[in-house]
Amino acid sequence: SQQGEEDPQALSIQEGENATMNCSYKTSINNLQWYRQNSGRGLVHLILIRSNEREKHSGRLRVTLDTSKKSSSLLITASRAADTASYFCATDPITQGGSEKLVFGKGTKLTVNP
Amino acid sequence: NAGVTQTPKFQVLKTGQSMTLQCAQDMNHEYMSWYRQDPGMGLRLIHYSVGAGITDQGEVPNGYNVSRSTTEDFPLRLLSAAPSQTSVYFCASNPTGVRRFYGYTFGSGTRLTVV
DSSP B20-34: EEEEEESS--SEEEE
Which is nearest to B90 in space by CA: B80, B76, B78, B101? B76
pLDDT (mean) for A83-108: 86
Query: What phi, psi does A81 have (nearest 5°)?
Result: -55, -35
Alpha-helical runs (H) found in chain A = none
Across the interface, which of A2, A42, A105 has its CB nearest the CB of B108?
A42
pLDDT (mean) for B22-47: 93
pLDDT by residue (tens digit) across A12-44? 999 999 999 999 999 999 899 999 999 989 999
Yes or no: say if B114 and B14 are a contact pair by the CB < 8 Å rule: yes
User: pLDDT > 90: what percent of chain A?
Assistant: 77
Q: Give the CA dihedral B76, B80, B83, B89, nearest 10 degrees.
A: 0
Closest residue in A to B37 (Cα–Cα): A106
Yes or no: say if B52 and B65 are a contact pair by the CB < 8 Å rule: no
Chain B hits for A46, Cβ within 8 Å = 103
pLDDT by residue (tens digit) across B71-110? 999 999 999 999 999 999 999 999 876 566 788 999 999 9
pLDDT at A42: 92
